[in-house]
Amino acid sequence: MYFQRGTLTPEQTRLVLRDLPIDVSFADEHDVLVYWSGATYKTCDARYIGRDVRDCHPQQSLAVLEAILREFKAGTKDVAEGWSTLPDGSVKLTRYLAVRDGGTYKGTLETIVRLAQFQRYQGEQALPGW
């Protein structure tokens, strides 16, 4: 079980989310896009904030998005993930996670990680080094 400890100020929260090595977006329980951060969204129109998350996705992905939202809201699934190879040969991992509070669905968190930043690691280096 996960136990949260401590608190962050709004400014600390903004800075932490900005500097995470992942791109993040969040749509609330009403499927309204309320937040995004990261390079993935640099070409996205800011007018999408406050709109239905379906408006931000291409037509060909809507059936899958609907299925994900339906399963998350029903409580039958908590994670959906996919990956793709980018033109430079690196892999992009996209994960959708159901956000819940005491079992109540509160929204969908999307995370996107470019795995190239981690593919350079080989062997082991248990402690951080320079």
Q: What is the pLDDT of residue 39?
A: 80
Q: CA 17, CA 26: separation in Å to the nearest integer? A: 12
For 25, residues 6+ apart whose C-beta sits below 8 A from its C-beta are: 33, 35, 36, 37, 41, 109, 110
Pick the CATH number of 19-117 from 2.20.25.90, 3.90.220.20, 3.30.1370.110, 3.30.450.20: 3.30.450.20
pLDDT in tens, 53-103: 999 888 999 999 999 999 999 999 999 999 998 888 888 899 999 999 989
Q: CA 61, CA 85: separation in Å to the nearest integer? A: 17
Q: What is the pLDDT of residue 2?
A: 63
Q: What is the pLDDT of residue 117?
A: 67
Domain ranges across the chain: 19-117
pLDDT in tens, 7-47: 999 999 989 988 888 999 999 999 999 998 888 777 778 88
